[in-house]
Amino acid sequence: MSEAIEPVAASAVVNAESRVDAKQMNMIQAINSAMDVMMDRDPDVVVMGEDVGYFGGVFRATAGLQQKYGKNRVFDTPITECGIIGVAVGMGAYGLRPVPEIQFADYIYPALDQLVSEAARLRYRSAGEFISPLTVRSPFGGGIFGGQTHSQSPEGIFTHVSGVKTVIPSTPYDAKGLLIAAIEDNDPVIFFEPKRIYNGPFDGHYDTPAKSWAGHPEAQVPQGYYRIPLGKARIARAGEALTILCYGTMVHVVENTVAATGVDAEILDLRTLVPLDIEAIETSVKKTGRCLIVHEATRTSGFGAELLSQVQERCFYHLEAPIERVTGFDTPYPHSLEWAYFPGPVRIREAITKIMKD
Amino acid sequence: MTGPEDSDGAPASAGRNLPPLRLHVPEPPARPGESADFTHFDIPAAGSQPRPDEAAQPAEMREMAYGLIRVLDEDGRAVGAWNPKLPPETLLRMLRYMALTRAFDARMFRAQRQGKTSFYMKSTGEEAVSIGAALALARDDMCFPSYRQQGILIARDWPIVDMMNQIYSNKGDRLKGRQLPIMYSARDAGFFSISGNLTTQYPQAVGWAMASAARGDTRIAATWCGEGSTAEGDFHSACTFASVYRAPVIMNVVNNQWAISSFSGFAGAESTTFAARAIGYGIAGLRVDGNDVLAVYAAMRWAADRARANGGPTLIEHFTYRVEGHSTSDDPSAYRSAEESTLWPLGDPIARLKQHCIAQGIWDDERHAAMDRELAEMVRDAAREAEKNGILGHGLHHPMETLFEDVFEDMPWHLKEQQQQMLDEWKAAGL
């Protein structure tokens, strides 16, 4: 069993200008590349899940890995999410570094006990004798006419659980660097992949032609190893008038809406929900004095509620307007009315106008 | 239950001349105040069960899931094809480990009643299930136990003071007082951290075994759950994975008849055996007299040899009886006949092995009584030693700030902040 790989120095985290060996990749290719790089570096990394082996996954995220690394390290599993995660916990206890895929985040609920009571608690309850270095990958979020069982955003369930980290990338470059950091992490990580932007950024206008990642600066992805540390937000757009906290697909929807409104907003792409980059949030909100929180997940007890509390506790005397939330409604994710549910440009623009009025 | 007529008095299934449906809710044979009756148990004679080859196909040995492997007969003789023919020193080690487990249980049960800890679970009557298994496995095989297999730690010579420190949640507790008493973790003993959530260890054991196989290791895994929790989805997920990947794992179902107050009928025992769960999964299934330590040993050894030879998983039902309450929080006189434990037809596992050792001419009543005295003193001395590290609720616990440790490998800012806040608040309160 190899030792855990030492994190590289911060200087190894490259910025877009100095990306060596970079290649245009969409988010699926970047995720695939992250697993490829890690399987090559660390023989303990194993990939498992429904349809991930020979076929390469329903979204093709694991394409080619079984051919390259063999069936002992990349294998299809029975259709039991409880079993997939339970088996991954056991493999982690043996000393492996499993990367199970849950085919859709909507399917993760049968695995909740193994995630919440086992993977997330093993280090604590055994005082470090056993750990669960799992990275659970799962496509999440709507916008693909997936109906209520292929569209949900359950990140708030996991941010509520002690002992698990929750990571959500918004670009191919981040997806690879964050996934590598997640796989190297010795704690369980829920890695939710915004499937609406697998193939291209989404501006929130569902009735315009889909864009690809071609030409997007964050789609320039180094082919080799690099990591983006967990717990560090990204300033997607610098600004002075307003801070918008978002992650995943909503980063792009917000960017586009901000561009359309002309407001000088600072857009923070949180990237990691737990641990949260509270410094970046606090610095930005204290600078702008206004805060909007946007997520696709349902509103009540959503992660936005936690963000709102944190901002209120730390930045209350800097605030010039009440903090606003734009979120999915507290309903199941509908099929035909998907775009009524989706917190798109109309609702974001309304919220920005309201905050800026005060 | 409603009758066949609706509120208007009209037949609900008018024109369909069908009998009303009935819901079957299982009921145990005897409740408090009633006579226990085990005559409906079909108990084959010791030595009557065939012993399939370890390489047998599951389909060729299905009857093993409905029989009962028994080695020790009524006269204390070891008979039949399953007789492991153990040397005298192994028999006496088994006897001593079982007796030590019982003495340990007695002492810790009393400690709970004395208010020294919050909770305890005895394994009285089920000692053979753990001890027979532990001795049949290699020392480095990995165990994923449930909460009543303390005998595994004892048979692996784990220090009982360490176990007591955990039970007292004191400053000597390696688990830093985080776990309910008896939820041990002992990596160096090949003993996985016990969960309070039932049967979660099953797929974990299968995963460990799959990892071992994928790595070309030689170690196998074993896991235990109760008959009640075979109803959990984890059990069935584990059986599917074990079958699909032919994992080198032994899955033990300890059928002690009772899941707190629910008799085994609520897990399906009225309709089939628990060993027969193996058949649908294409797994080898064995059903064993769990109060016969030689039978337990032989079945475990069969399964271990099979797993080590890449023959895949085995599901073993250990048919036994939970003599005591589920835990110190339970009063079985409220739901089952008090006669049951004395009438249990498969006897006491310690008495049966003792009888065998005496019949073999390697043991006698005097030596047994002396051993019991010695073990009682040993656990008393160990308890005194452990109590020097503190008992639950008497201050000698780990420092308060440790409650934030080990949530993650590195403590993130929000836990540091909460930790500091807690310390500041206690300080401000003058504590």
C-alpha A42/C-alpha A96 separation (Å) is 10
Q: How far is B190 from chain A (nearest CA, A)?
A: 11
Query: What value of ipTM does the predicted structure carry?
Result: 0.95
Question: Which residues fall within 8 angstroms of residue A210, CB to CB, at 6 or more apart?
Answer: A199, A200, A202
Query: Can you tell me the distance from the alpha carbon of B79 to that of B84, in angstroms, rounded to the nearest whole number?
Result: 9
Tell me if chain B has a CB within 8 Å of the CB of A311.
no
Residue B93 near residue B135, CB atoms below 8 Å: yes
Active-site residue, A252 included? no
Q: Do B210 and A90 touch (CB under 8 A)?
A: yes
Please state, in angstroms and rounded to a whole number, the distance separating the CA atoms of residues A264 and A270.
19
Q: Does residue A81 carry a catalytic annotation?
A: yes
Number of CB pairs < 8 Å for A and B? 144
Predicted confidence at residue A85, as pLDDT, reads: 98
Please check whether residue B192 touches A, CB under 8 A.
Answer: yes
Contacts of B208 in chain A (CB under 8 A): 90-91, 93-94
Nearest to B208 among A77, A94, A186 (CB): A94
Catalytic residue among A101, A118, A150, A184: A150
- The per-residue pLDDT for A20 is 85
Per-residue pLDDT of chain A (358 residues), as tens digits, is 344 444 444 334 445 556 889 999 999 999 999 999 999 999 999 999 999 999 999 999 999 999 999 999 999 999 999 999 999 999 999 999 999 999 999 999 999 999 999 999 999 999 999 999 999 999 999 999 999 999 999 999 999 999 999 999 999 999 999 999 999 999 999 999 999 999 999 999 999 999 999 999 999 999 999 999 999 999 999 999 999 999 999 999 999 999 999 999 999 999 999 999 999 999 999 999 999 999 999 999 999 999 999 999 999 999 999 999 999 999 999 999 999 999 999 999 999 999 999 7
Contact between chains at A90 and B409 (C-beta distance less than 8 A): no
**B118 in contact with A, Cβ within 8 Å:** no
β pairing state of A242-246 and B314-319: unpaired
Kindly identify which residue of chain B lies nearest to residue A80, measuring between CA atoms: B237
Residues B203-233 as b/e (b if ≥16 CB within 10 A, e otherwise) read: bbbbbbbbbbbbbeeebbbbbbbbbbbbebb
Find chain A residues with C-beta within 8 A of B237's C-beta: 78, 80, 82-83, 86
Asked if the Cβ–Cβ distance from A165 to B409 is below 8 Å, we say no
> CA Rg, chain B, in Å?
24
**Contact assignment for B200 to A114 by CB distance below 8 Å:** yes
Instruction: Give the closest-approach CA distance of A90 to chain B in angstroms.
Output: 4
> Residues 110-139, chain A: which have Cβ within 8 Å of B?
110, 113-114, 117-118, 122-131
Look at residue B95 in the predicted model and tell me its pLDDT. Answer: 98
Residues in Cβ contact with A121 at an 8 Å cutoff, skipping those fewer than 6 apart: A162, A163
Nearest to A91 among B185, B210, B412 (CB): B210
Q: DSSP character for A144? A: S
The H or E element spanning position A99 is: strand A97-101
Instruction: Round to whole Å and give the CA distance between A99 and A119.
Output: 13
Question: What region, left, alpha or beta, does residue B369 occupy, with left being phi > 0 and alpha being psi -120 to 50 degrees?
Answer: alpha
CB contact under 8 A, B208 and A93: yes
pLDDT < 50 positions in chain B? 1-4, 6
Mutate which: B408, B409, B419, vs A, most A CBs within 10 A: B408
Residues 6+ away with beta carbon under 8 Å from B423: B400, B401
Residues of B with Cβ-Cβ distance to A122 under 8 angstroms: 193
A331 to chain B, any CB pair closer than 8 A? The answer is no
Q: Which of A87, A99, A129, A131 is best to mutate for the B interface (most B CBs within 10 A)?
A: A87
Could you tell me if B218 lies within 8 Å of chain A, comparing CB atoms? no
Distance from CA of B414 to the nearest CA of A (A): 8
> A125-139: b or e for each residue (b if 16 or more CB lie within 10 Å)?
bbbbbbbbbbbbbbb
In this complex, do B237 and A187 lie within 8 Å of one another by their Cβ atoms? no
Residue B41 is predicted with a pLDDT of 85
Contact A88 B244 (CB under 8 A): no
Say yes or no: A212 contacts chain B, CB-CB below 8 A: no
The minimum CA-CA distance between A16 and chain B, rounded to whole Å, is: 28
The answer to whether A194 and A248 are in contact (CB under 8 A) is yes
The residue of chain A nearest to residue B233, with distances taken between CA atoms, is A82
Which chain A residues have a beta carbon less than 8 Å from that of B240?
78, 80, 83
- Which of the residues A50, A81, A118, A296 is marked catalytic? A81
- Tokens for A30, please give them: 């970047």
Residue B20: CB atoms within 10 A of its CB come to 12
- What DSSP line would sit under A269-314, residue for residue? E--EEETT-HHHHHHHHHHHS-EEEEEEEESTT-HHHHHHHHHHHH
Q: Which amino acid is present at A278?
A: I
Find chain A residues with C-beta within 8 A of B192's C-beta. 93, 130
Secondary structure (H, E, C), chain B = CCCCECCCCCECCCCCCCCCCCCCCCCCCCCCCCCCCCCCCCCCCCCCCCCCCCCCCHHHHHHHHCCCECCECCCCCECCCCCCCCCHHHHHHHHHHHHHHHHHHHHHHHHHHCCCCCCCCCCCCCHHHHHHHHHHCCCCCEEECCCCCHHHHHHCCCCHHHHHHHHHCCCCCCCCCCCCCCCCCEHHHCECCCCCCCCCHHHHHHHHHHHHHHCCCCCCEEEEEECHHHHCHHHHHHHHHHHHHCCCEEEEEEECCEECCEEHHHHCCCCCCCCCHHHHHCCEEEEEECCCHHHHHHHHHHHHHHHHCCCCCEEEEEECCCCCCCCCCCCHHHCCCCCHHHHCCCCCHHHHHHHHHHHCCCCCHHHHHHHHHHHHHHHHHHHHHHHCCCCCCCCCCCCHHHHHCCCCCCCCHHHHHHHHHHHHHHHHCCC
Question: Measured between alpha carbons, how far is A158 from B340 in angstroms, rounded to an integer?
Answer: 46
Give A151→chain B minimum CA distance, Å. Answer: 25
Q: Decide if B211 and A96 are in contact by the 8 Å CB cutoff.
A: yes
Which tokens go with B420?
A: 């500091």
Contact (CB<8Å) A118/B406: no
Q: Which residues of chain B does A113 touch, with a Cβ-Cβ cutoff of 8 Å?
A: 197, 200, 234
Residue B33 CB-density burial (10 A; 0-12 exposed, 13-18 middle, 19+ buried): exposed
Interacting residues of A27 by C-beta distance below 8 A, sequence separation 6+: A169, A171, A172, A175, A193, A194, A197, A198, A199, A213
